[in-house]
């Protein structure tokens, strides 16, 4: 029988609508032209997403490690879950509940993220749960809450973008990271609106801009302050808006006045004339938007940096009004919903604080437990990974939906910490680099094999519908959590029916900031998604926030009192260049999924180091030659890609690969004090020809499309680790 199911892409936060068309276990992705966000358009990742559903391409049986340094072998579910439950319980008995940790992901559905948070607090009783979203947009989330009292990535639908007069895109490269969204920027320019792109590289996105500000990495804070300075000097403030709808302007004004154009030119490397051009375009526009992505956010001053861009919007009256505002382009498939319902260290569902007595009482009521039994705040993502295997740290870890061996900063150190665990349990679709280190690997069902909601970058809650039955041997994450909770014999009820879990999430979120109480699967199907907050079934949902008031106690948006400061590590004589990192179109994140898909692997076969021709000449490097990049934390080797599109003082590496070409062997785990975001976007490095540096192995080259080994076969043996204790 042929079936057609409407669903959404498993990858990024655009959550493009797609249709799965198929017979039996074979499905193909076809267009779904009626879904408003992407109107049928998909990037190559979405088009090829079904390839990983095939049994040969993914895990179909649990895997167990018998001896600390032995290989992984196939096992039955009963044995695998028994081992996990016993191991977690033993760690809890010996070292206390907080010695058990949980690490989640922004790709998990709302139902999974919610149940994972409940599982940690109720079934395990641990404070130590956090997730990879900490590495993603957490600085923007923190700045949002400080300024507006509420964090939703975009306060308006994407469809508003073409209506604004001037848009500043800061450290975002949607041409590679969300191509179907380019339509909105194109329409903006067709209407006569201006597009300004701020990026140290002339990306495919920057090529489409009216003005490209090719700043020095890490200088966005100075740039935003400098633009505010010029706007003030040119009399372009919206004083009525400042008086009526904001608080705290004076210290923000004083900080901006200390960032005069020549000083900002020195800090950013941008000529004063360019700064003036940008300030005039934005300041004079009747409406305007600033959108940030990972460029300015993944810095040890990311929260302050985003705050400075919000200041620019507030000072010019470009927030809380139609076709104006600040927004963050969230990244992961459920990067928005995944940060709302309790998989963060300090959070309970509905974007509630775990330290707030009223929030604890409400959620404990829904969960049927005593408020006092709920743990308090735990460690943030990098702090949690850094604590693994340490005497007072986490000693048994359940990891669901992340591949930190590739994606965490200072990854060599993080890998060592993972190896020092008493027990590592990884739920994944494939044998990721992190799963290869696990004691127990649990094969999870995939997006097309289960139903669940995600919340896209606009705050639109949408429904992925099951189109296929998962292969034998694979279980859903919800079922794994339910069965583990039962084996652990604790309090609370755990359902594995997604709609039932969503119904519980509605109740748990009711009255919170991210209020889903009025959203149901039925409504989502009928309405192309529903925007939160949506407190009851009659409520239409909230596509646009802050039009009447901001979500602060007095309804006013708050200016941030911020000044420029250097990065945690600036270039010096030993490490004279900036390294920045990011993405390419055909690979997704740690590459665990996309490196297993042939078409994508052909399009982007391996890591590389982007460098300017001037730098290449100085280093006597030719195109494709292997380069050794060294930072204070490690070294990576990858071929040179010479391009005039990058600053001569900066090199760029994508972070999608493991092995010798892993960018995160180099990156700096210096954390933003507020958001705990690591400084992925810049560190100081030295670059040499690999041969000159004594490297002769052609390491870091394209990796062949690796297939997961069939069930029953021995899997990667893990090198022995001295810290391994059992
Ligand atoms: N193809 C693809 N698409 C993806 C993903 C993927 O892995 N692959 N991941 C998804 C996820 S989770 C995310 S978070 C998003 C990320 O989406 P983006 O933020 O658009 O992607 P990045 O490449 O990380 O960074 C954007 C730009 O920041 C620039 N940049 C580097 N340093 C600085 C700086 O100091 N200041 C400024 N202003 N810019 C700087 C880089 O040159 C880069 O062009 O993409 C999502 N979509
Ligand atoms: N140098 C550098 N490092 C970075 C960044 C950067 O810009 N530069 N960006 C950071 C950002 S923004 C992000 S978001 C992180 C992302 O990095 P990761 O957290 O590693 O994200 P993914 O590679 O998407 O890992 C998801 C894993 O979960 C599996 N998976 C997918 N869906 C499911 C599911 O439903 N259930 C289960 N059980 N497993 C699933 C996938 O197969 C994959 O192995 O990387 C960060 N690291
Ligand atoms: S843009 Fe994002 S959601 Fe859309 S098809 Fe590509 S990866 Fe999927
Ligand atoms: Mo992300």
Label residue 22 by pLDDT band (50, 70, 90). confident
3-state secondary structure of 464: strand
Q: Find tokens 């892993």 and name the residue.
A: 662
Residue ranges of the chain that CATH labels 3.40.50.740: 63-135+334-531
Query: Residue 23: what pLDDT?
Result: 79
Report the phi/psi class of residue 488: left, alpha or beta, with left for phi > 0 and alpha for psi in -120 to 50: alpha
Q: Which atom of ligand 2 is nearest to the CA of 404?
A: 20
Alpha-carbon torsion angle 480, 482, 485, 490, nearest 10: 180
Q: Which atom of ligand 3 is nearest to the CA of 42?
A: 5
CB atoms within 10 A of CB 356: 12
Sheet holding 452-455, edge to edge: 452-455, 460-464, 530-531
Query: Residue 21: what pLDDT?
Result: 95
Q: Which atom of ligand 2 is nearest to the CA of 583?
A: 7
- Model pLDDT for residues 604-660, shown as the tens digit of each residue: 999 999 999 999 999 999 999 999 999 999 999 999 999 999 999 999 999 999 999
Find the range with the poorest average confidence among 160-164, 401-405, 468-472.
Answer: 468-472
Alpha-carbon torsion angle 656, 657, 658, 660, nearest 10: -130
Residue 105 beta carbon below 6 angstroms from any ligand 2 atom: yes
Pick from 227, 164, 177, 240: which is nearest to 198 by CA? 227
Average pLDDT over residues 247-268: 98
Report CA torsion sign: 292, 295, 297, 301.
Answer: negative
- Model pLDDT for residues 416-433, shown as the tens digit of each residue: 999 999 999 999 999 999
Report the percent of the chain where pLDDT is more than 90. 93
Helix orientation angle between 477-488 and 77-95, rounded to the nearest 10 degrees: 50
How much distance in Å is there from the Cα of 406 to the middle of ligand 2? 9
Report CA torsion sign: 640, 645, 647, 650.
Answer: negative
424: its two tokens: 């590592």
CB atoms within 10 A of CB 159: 14
Residue 705 pLDDT greater than 70, yes or no? no
Angle at 307 between CA 303 and CA 313, to 5 degrees: 150
676 contacts 137 by C-beta, under 8 angstroms:
no
Please provide the CATH number assigned to the domain covering 139-329: 3.40.228.10
Kindly report the length of the chain.
726
- Residue nearest atom 4 in ligand 3 by C-alpha distance: 16
Query: Residue 25: what pLDDT?
Result: 72
Query: Residue 441: what pLDDT?
Result: 98
Label residue 254 by pLDDT band (50, 70, 90). very high
Average pLDDT over residues 335-361: 97
Residue 107 beta carbon below 6 angstroms from any ligand 1 atom: no
Label residue 704 by pLDDT band (50, 70, 90). very low
Q: Best of 115, 141, 384, 592 to mutate for ligand 2, by most ligand atoms within 8 A of CB?
A: 592
Ligand of minimum distance to the alpha carbon of 428: 2
Residue ranges of the chain that CATH labels 3.40.228.10: 139-329
Residue ranges of the chain that CATH labels 2.20.25: 3-57
Angle at 492 between CA 486 and CA 495, to 5 degrees: 65
Q: Best of 10, 49, 59, 135 to mutate for ligand 2, by most ligand atoms within 8 A of CB?
A: 135
Query: Residue 615: what pLDDT?
Result: 98
Strands 423-428 and 396-400 come out as parallel
Residue 436 pLDDT greater than 90, yes or no? yes
Residue 663 beta carbon below 6 angstroms from any ligand 1 atom: no
252 contacts 560 by C-beta, under 8 angstroms:
yes
664 contacts 636 by C-beta, under 8 angstroms:
no
With 0-12 CB in 10 A as exposed, 13-18 as middle and 19+ as buried, what is 150? middle
How much distance in Å is there from the Cα of 294 to the middle of ligand 1? 5
Half-sphere exposure of 349 (CA within 13 A, CB side): 33
Phi, psi of 38 (to 5 degrees): -115, -5
- Residue nearest atom 21 in ligand 2 by C-alpha distance: 402
Residue 328 pLDDT greater than 80, yes or no? yes
Burial 507-535 (b: 16+ CB within 10 A, else e): bbbbebbbbbbbbbbebbeeeebbbbbbb
How much distance in Å is there from the Cα of 402 to the middle of ligand 2? 4
Query: Residue 701: what pLDDT?
Result: 38
> What CATH fold (topology level) applies to the domain 3-57?
N-terminal domain of TfIIb (2.20.25)
Ligand of minimum distance to the alpha carbon of 329: 1
Ligand of minimum distance to the alpha carbon of 588: 1
281: its two tokens: 């375009």
Q: Best of 33, 38, 45 to mutate for ligand 3, by most ligand atoms within 8 A of CB?
A: 45
- Model pLDDT for residues 514-546, shown as the tens digit of each residue: 999 999 999 999 999 999 999 999 999 999 999
Q: Which atom of ligand 1 is nearest to the CA of 330?
A: 14
Label residue 722 by pLDDT band (50, 70, 90). very low
Mind giving me the DSSP string for 156-206?
S-GGGGGG-SEEEEES--HHHH-GGGHHHHHHHHHTT-EEEEE-SB--TTG
Report the percent of the chain where pLDDT is more than 70. 95
Burial 7-38 (b: 16+ CB within 10 A, else e): bbbbbbbbbbbbbbbbeeeebebebbeebebb
Mean of the per-residue pLDDT values of the chain:
95
Alpha-carbon torsion angle 213, 217, 220, 226, nearest 10: -70
What CA–CA distance (Å, rounded) separates 664 from 687? 15
User: What is the model's pTM?
Assistant: 0.95
Residue 155 beta carbon below 6 angstroms from any ligand 1 atom: no
How much distance in Å is there from the Cα of 221 to the middle of ligand 4? 21
Average pLDDT over residues 304-325: 98
State in words which class domain 63-135+334-531 has: alpha beta
Ligand of minimum distance to the alpha carbon of 8: 3
Alpha-carbon torsion angle 52, 505, 495, 120, nearest 10: 80
Residue ranges of the chain that CATH labels 2.40.40.20: 577-689
Q: Which atom of ligand 3 is nearest to the CA of 178?
A: 1
Q: Regarding predicted confidence, which is higher, 722 or 24?
A: 24
Report whether the peptide linkage leading into residue 700 is cis, meaning its omega lies within 30 degrees of zero.
no
Average pLDDT over residues 56-68: 93
637: its two tokens: 């080797």
Q: Best of 15, 16, 179, 183 to mutate for ligand 3, by most ligand atoms within 8 A of CB?
A: 16
Q: Which residues make Cβ contacts (< 8 Å) with residue 84, sequence separation at least 6? A: 398, 423, 425, 440, 442, 484
231 contacts 279 by C-beta, under 8 angstroms:
yes
How much distance in Å is there from the Cα of 534 to the middle of ligand 4? 26
Ligand of minimum distance to the alpha carbon of 179: 3
Query: Residue 695: what pLDDT?
Result: 55
Query: Residue 672: what pLDDT?
Result: 98
What CA–CA distance (Å, rounded) separates 602 from 338? 31
What CA–CA distance (Å, rounded) separates 322 from 299? 30
Mind giving me the DSSP string for 615-645?
HHHHHT--TT-EEEEE-SS-EEEEEEEE-TT
Query: Residue 68: what pLDDT?
Result: 81
Q: Regarding predicted confidence, which is higher, 23 or 275?
A: 275
Q: Find tokens 């090529």 and name the residue.
A: 207
How much distance in Å is there from the Cα of 331 to the middle of ligand 1? 9
Report the phi/psi class of residue 659: left, alpha or beta, with left for phi > 0 and alpha for psi in -120 to 50: left
454 contacts 334 by C-beta, under 8 angstroms:
yes
H or E element that contains 701: none
Residue 721 pLDDT greater than 50, yes or no? no
State in words which class domain 577-689 has: mainly beta
Q: Best of 47, 171, 202, 645 to mutate for ligand 1, by most ligand atoms within 8 A of CB?
A: 171
């Amino acid at each position: 029988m042929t079936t057609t199911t409407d669903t959404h892409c498993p990858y990024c936060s655009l959550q493009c609508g797609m249709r799965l068309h198929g017979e039996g276990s074979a499905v193909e992705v076809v267009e779904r032209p009626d879904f408003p966000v992407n109107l049928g358009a998909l990037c190559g990742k979405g088009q090829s997403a079904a390839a990983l559903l095939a049994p040969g391409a993914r895990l179909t049986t649990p895997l167990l490690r018998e001896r600390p340094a032995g290989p992984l072998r196939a096992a039955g579910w009963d044995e695998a879950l028994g081992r996990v439950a016993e191991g977690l319980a033993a760690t809890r008995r010996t070292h206390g509940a907080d010695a058990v940790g949980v690490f989640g992901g922004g790709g998990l559905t709302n139902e999974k993220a919610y149940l994972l948070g409940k599982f940690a607090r109720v079934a395990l009783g641990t404070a130590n749960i956090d997730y990879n979203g900490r590495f993603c947009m957490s600085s923007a989330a923190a700045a949002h809450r400080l300024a507006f009292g509420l964090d939703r990535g975009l306060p308006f639908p994407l469809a508003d973008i073409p209506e604004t007069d001037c848009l500043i895109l800061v450290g975002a490269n949607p041409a590679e990271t969300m191509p179907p969204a380019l339509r909105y920027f194109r329409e903006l320019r067709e209407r006569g609106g201006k597009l300004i792109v701020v990026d140290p590289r002339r990306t495919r996105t920057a090529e489409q801009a009216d003005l490209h500000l090719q700043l020095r990495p890490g200088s966005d804070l100075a740039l935003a302050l400098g633009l505010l300075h010029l706007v003030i000097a040119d009399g372009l403030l919206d004083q009525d808006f400042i008086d009526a709808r904001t608080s705290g302007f004076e210290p923000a004004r004083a900080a901006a006045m200390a960032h005069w154009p020549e000083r900002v030119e020195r800090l950013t490397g941008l000529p004063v004339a360019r700064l003036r051009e940008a300030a005039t375009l934005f300041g004079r526009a009747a409406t305007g938007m600033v959108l940030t992505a990972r460029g300015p956010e993944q810095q040890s001053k990311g929260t302050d940096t985003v705050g400075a861009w919000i200041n620019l919007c507030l000072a010019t009256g470009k927030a809380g009004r139609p076709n104006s505002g600040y927004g963050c382009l969230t990244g992961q498939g459920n990067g928005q919903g995944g940060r709302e319902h309790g998989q963060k260290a300090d959070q309970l569902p509905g974007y509630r604080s775990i330290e707030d007595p009223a929030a604890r009482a409400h959620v404990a009521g829904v969960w049927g437990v005593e408020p006092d039994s709920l743990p308090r705040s735990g460690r943030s993502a990098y702090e949690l990974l850094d604590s693994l295997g340490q005497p007072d740290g986490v000693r048994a870890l359940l990891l669901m939906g992340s591949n930190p061996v590739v994606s965490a900063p200072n990854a060599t150190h993080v890998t060592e910490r993972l190896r020092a665990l008493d027990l590592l349990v990884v739920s994944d679709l494939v044998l990721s680099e992190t799963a290869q280190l696990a004691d127990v690997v649990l094969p999870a069902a995939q997006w097309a094999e289960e139903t669940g909601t995600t919340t896209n970058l606009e705050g639109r809650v949408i429904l992925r519908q099951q189109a296929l039955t998962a292969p034998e041997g694979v279980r859903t994450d919800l079922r794994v959590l339910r069965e583990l909770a039962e084996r652990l014999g604790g309090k609370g009820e755990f359902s594995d029916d997604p709609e039932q879990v969503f119904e519980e999430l509605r109740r748990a979120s009711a009255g919170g900031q991210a209020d889903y109480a009025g959203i149901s699967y039925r409504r989502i199907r009928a309405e192309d998604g529903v925007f939160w907050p949506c407190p009851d079934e009659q409520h239409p949902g909230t596509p646009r926030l802050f039009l009447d008031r901001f979500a602060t106690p007095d309804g006013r948006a708050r200016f941030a009192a911020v000044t420029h400061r250097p990065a945690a590590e600036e270039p010096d004589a030993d490490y004279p260049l900036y390294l920045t990192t990011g993405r390419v179109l055909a690979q997704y994140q740690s590459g665990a999924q996309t490196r297993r898909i042939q078409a994508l692997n052909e399009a982007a076969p391996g890591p590389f180091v982007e460098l300017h021709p001037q730098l290449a000449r100085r280093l006597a490097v030719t195109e494709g030659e292997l380069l050794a990049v060294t930072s204070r934390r490690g070294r990576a080797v990858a071929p040179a890609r010479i391009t005039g599109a990058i600053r001569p003082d900066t090199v760029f590496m994508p972070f999608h690969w493991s092995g010798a070409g892993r960018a995160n062997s180099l990156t700096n785990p210096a954390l933003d004090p507020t958001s705990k975001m690591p400084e992925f976007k810049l560190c100081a490095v030295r670059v040499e020809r690999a041969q000159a540096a004594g490297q002769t192995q052609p390491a870091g080259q394209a990796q062949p499309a690796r297939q997961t080994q069939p069930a029953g076969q021995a899997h990667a043996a893990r090198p022995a680790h001295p810290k391994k204790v059992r």
